[in-house]
Amino acid sequence: MARVALLALLLPALVAARSAGIKYKRSSECFAGLGCFSNDAPFFSLYRPVSFLPQSPATIHPKFTVFTRDTSHEGHDITVGYATGLKQSGFSAERDTKFIVHGFIDNGGTDWMAEMKNELLVQGDYNVVLVDWGSGSLNLYGQATANTRVVGAMLAQIINFMTETLDARPEDMHVIGHSLGAHVAGYAGERLKHLGRITGLDPAEPYFQNTETVVRLDPSDALFVDVIHTDGAAFYSTSHGFGMSQACGHVDYYPNGGHKQPGCEDGVITHLVNEGIVTGAKEFVACNHLRAYHFFTESINSLCPFEGYRCDSETKWKNGSCVPCEEGGCGFMGLHADKTKPPRGTTHVKFFLETAPHAPYCRYHFKLTMTFAGTGRAERGEMYVHLTGTTGVTHEVEVTHGATYVDPGHSYTYLLTSPLDLHEIRDVHFRWVHDASVLDFGTWNVFGTRDPTLYMDRVAVTNGETHKSFNFCEHSMAITSDRVEIFSHPCDPTPTTNTF
For residue range 470-490, list pLDDT tens digits in order: 999 988 999 999 999 999 999
Amino acid at residue number 137 = S
CA 379 to chain centre: 37
List, for residues 329-383, the tens digit of each pLDDT value.
899 999 999 999 999 999 999 999 999 999 999 999 999 999 999 998 899 999 9
Using an 8 Å Cβ cutoff, are 231 and 286 in contact?
A: yes
Crossing angle for the helix pair 180-190 and 141-166, to the nearest 10 degrees: 40
* Residue 179 falls in the annotated catalytic set: yes
CA 494 to chain centre: 36
List, for residues 218-241, the tens digit of each pLDDT value.
999 999 999 999 999 887 665 678
Amino acid at residue number 452 = P
**21 has a pLDDT exceeding 80:** no
**3 has a pLDDT exceeding 80:** no
Instruction: For the chain, list the domains and their CATH numbers.
Output: 2-353 (3.40.50.1820), 364-497 (2.60.60.20)
Catalytic residue among 289, 294, 365, 434: 289
* Residue 289 falls in the annotated catalytic set: yes
Catalytic residue among 51, 137, 179, 418: 179
Average pLDDT over residues 13-34: 64
Note the pLDDT of residue 437: 80
**Vertex 108, ends 292 and 150: CA angle to 5°?**
90
Distance CA 155, CA 57 (A): 11
**423 has a pLDDT exceeding 50:** yes
Note the pLDDT of residue 20: 38
Note the pLDDT of residue 240: 72
Distance CA 172, CA 489 (A): 52
Q: What does 10-63 look like in DSSP terms, one character per residue?
A: H-HHHHHHHHH-------EEEETTTEEEE-STTSSBTTB-S-PPPPPHHHH--E
Distance CA 427, CA 387 (A): 6
**217 has a pLDDT exceeding 90:** yes
pTM listed for this prediction: 0.90
Distance CA 305, CA 307 (A): 5
Q: Tell me the β-bridge partners of 362.
A: none
Note the pLDDT of residue 357: 96
**117 has a pLDDT exceeding 90:** yes
Distance CA 484, CA 466 (A): 28
List, for residues 247-302, the tens digit of each pLDDT value.
999 999 999 999 999 999 865 444 444 554 445 445 557 899 999 999 999 999 99
Using an 8 Å Cβ cutoff, are 373 and 414 in contact?
A: no
H or E stretch covering 146 = helix 141-166
DSSP state of 211: S
* Residue 469 falls in the annotated catalytic set: no
Using an 8 Å Cβ cutoff, are 457 and 440 in contact?
A: no
Query: If you compute the radius of gyration of the chain from its CA atoms, what whole number of angstroms results?
Result: 26
Contacts of 217 (CB under 8 A, 6+ apart): 177, 182, 183, 185, 186, 198, 200, 203, 208, 225, 227, 248, 249
**153 has a pLDDT exceeding 80:** yes
Of 26-30, 122-126, 188-192, 449-453, minimum mean pLDDT range: 449-453
Note the pLDDT of residue 239: 60
The runs of H, that is alpha helices, within 351-391 are: none
The count of other CB atoms within 10 Å of the CB of residue 402 is 8
Average pLDDT, rounded, for the chain: 89
Catalytic residue among 202, 231, 427, 457: 202
Using an 8 Å Cβ cutoff, are 167 and 133 in contact?
A: no
